[in-house]
Amino acid sequence: MDNDEKLVVFQPSGRRGRFAVGTPLLDAARSLGVYVESVCGGRAMCARCQVEVTEGQFDKYGVVSRAENLSPAGEAERRWKVPPGRRMSCQARILGDLVVDVPSEFAVNRQVVRKRAETRRIALDTATRLVVVRLAQAEMEHPIGDGDRLVEAIEAQAGYRGLVLDAAVLSTVQGALAAGTVTAAVHEDADRPVVIAVWPGERSAAFGLAFDIGSTTIAGHLVDLVTGRAVASAGTANPQIRFGEDLMSRVSYVMMNPDGRDALTEAVRGAIGTLVSRLAGQVGIAAGDILEAVFVGNPVMHHLFLGIDPSPLGQAPFALAVSGALRLAARDLGLPLHPGARVYMPPCIAGHVGADAASVALAEGPQHHDEVTLVIDVGTNAEILLGNRARVLAASSPTGPAFEGAQISGGQRAAPGAIERVRIDPVTFEPRIKVLGVDPWSDEEGFAEAIIATGVTGICGSGIIEAVAELFLAGVVAADGTINAVASDRIRAQGRTFDFVLWRGDIEIAVTQTDIRAIQLAKGALYAGARLLMDHLGIDKVERIKLAGAFGSYIDPKYAMVIGMIPDCALDRVTSIGNAAGTGARMALLNRGHRAEVESLVRRVEKIETALEPRFQEHFVSAMAMPNAIDAFPHLAAAVDLPAVTAPMGRRSNRRRG
């Protein structure tokens, strides 16, 4: 209010912030964590980033929003024929206060869907190629079928051998051949090349899908198989959530209900079908123009998508029904793509380490590096990959859902209103918080006004990690995890333990001793898994850490290290790799070599089953404490002031780690 920055409120999330005049709306949205689709990355090349500007006074906030508070529509928006009332958010620049409506398709369950196509370049070597051939008309002297003539022509003109026709082509080949010039889609990722589609005339467009089926979110990219570009992206909540929030409750649902597996399979396939229609609609193609798809997911998602009972994954020996890569006909999965479309699913690594982890490994696995690299995908289970070009080890660790805000007293999913960042003053113990969807920190100007939109509704995974870490660094939490009764009105006795009150407002959000124990269990399991793999590799430290997934994108590596989630490592070698599973899926879609690569990689990955390793339990117990043996955590000690080694109330707090 005191500068020339303008107030912009994004609906329906209500997230708001102040931006300099001239800021593109897309940048403003991104800086607030508001998801606006953008395939081209703001280069005015996809027209997917459209938003609407609400006119008039927006009462609750007193914001007067005007279309003229945006820069006038320019050449690009005319070229893309953006309809009246709509603007491309990469082109429209902020000139005054605004209320902006974002198409709400993505804002499912008020959850922030953070999966989008990463901008990696993938070499093109698609499994499905278009071939244009010319054919003579049928001759009575040579009574050979149209399909057989087409096969001969493709073999002669495009150099294939042993070509066969897919059943889906039989009924369309006559119409296609009548034109003389025929475009055929030849799928090469089979024992013999297969003609999976034919069209009359010349055709140069072919599309594929790369889908990441998450337990919470299903995200898909529509990819142009000719250029390799993702031309549309969309996501939706996994409707299986209504059968159970987490994987195990869905497995239980299947075990308890005779039709449970059918219902869950139908739910996920239905949602995928709807997303496919939306993706196709976004670029004006038919779903039937899609010729290939790659699906990745954790083992339970993978099995349910395939119509396989996931119950055996719920108990030892956690047996997969099928682990190898799968090449299937889309029609056999009931997917509304081209009738001849093919589906590829990368292999699963183990009972808890699925095709999604294999896909992460393909995109960002340790085998890409000479240095020993640790790759962690954090979810309900943490999938852990460790190694380098020479060896790759994999394990999963039962972290439980604490990192996702579950089992935490004030916990919630990452959604507007969640505390996502926490700082504790080491002297006064006063907390500062940052709320998701709200720009200013709690001690910054405008916070009180901004927070009206979202409220403070809870604390999400990154928030609880930062809270525990900061409380530890401030000495409020001892190395063994105990909350000390420091001199602060934030400390609240709770029987024989203490809470630390983080937020006082309509609701109170505190970090309880139980919360800290939950985080200790989760981070101990994650660390122990990583440490177990380090033992197997015979190493004591890792040279690089990559954090995958939505959680990995939002976690501050420093705090992850402070609480001992991840091993000690130079902070600048700890990076977020975003939706690596989605990237891996696109790689497998666009390049057959990547399919061979992931299959061979998974075969050579050394699978470590944490449940079978006594040392896992030892590491787990040791890893419950906070890391404060400074000599054992040189990189961490260099980055933060680790608390002095103390042993309050007689507890040992200076166990050596690793």
Q: List residues binding a second copy (CB under 8 A).
A: 137-148, 151, 165, 167-168, 170-171, 173-175, 190-192, 306-309, 312, 316-324, 326, 328-329, 331-333, 348-351, 353, 607, 609, 611-612
- C-beta of 141: minimal distance to a second copy in Å? 7
In whole angstroms, the minimum distance from the beta carbon of 73 to a second copy comes to 45
The minimum distance between CB 147 and a second copy, in angstroms, equals 4
The residue among 308 and 502 lying less far from a second copy, judged by its C-beta, is 308
Residue 35 is given by DSSP the state -
CB of 534 to a second copy, least distance (A): 20
Alpha helices by DSSP H, listed for 222-354, are 247-256, 260-282, 299-306
| Residue 465 CA, distance from chain mean position | 19
Which residues are 574's β-sheet partners? Answer: 545
Closest distance of CB 355 from a second copy, Å: 11
Q: Which is nearer to a second copy, 216 or 381 (CB)?
A: 381
CB of 395 or CB of 477, closer to a second copy:
395
CB of 314 to a second copy, least distance (A): 12
* 67-75: Cβ within 8 A, 24+ apart: 68/95, 68/96, 69/6, 69/94, 69/95, 69/96, 69/97, 69/98, 70/25, 70/94, 70/95, 70/98, 71/95
Residue 568 burial by Cβ neighbours in a 10 Å radius (0-12, 13-18, 19+): buried
Q: What is the 3-state secondary structure (H, E, C) of 202-229?
A: CCCCCEEEEEEECCCEEEEEEEECCCCC
DSSP E strands in 338-412: the ranges are: 342-345, 373-378, 382-387, 392-397
Least Å distance, CB 178 to a second copy, is 9
Q: Are 303 and 321 in contact (CB under 8 A)?
A: yes
- When the beta carbons of 62 and 324 are compared against a second copy, the nearer one is 324
Nearer to a second copy, 320 or 542 (CB): 320
Residues 6+ apart with CB under 8 A from 68: 95, 96
**Smallest distance, a second copy to C-beta of residue 136, A:** 11
- Please answer whether residues 648 and 478 qualify as being in contact, where contact means their C-beta atoms are separated by less than 8 angstroms: yes
By beta-carbon proximity to a second copy, the closer residue of 119 and 617 is 617
Nearer to a second copy, 168 or 219 (CB): 168
Say if CB 443 and CB 423 are below 8 A apart. Answer: no
Q: Is 518 exposed, middle or buried (0-12, 13-18, 19+ CB in 10 A)?
A: buried
Nearer to a second copy, 229 or 261 (CB): 261
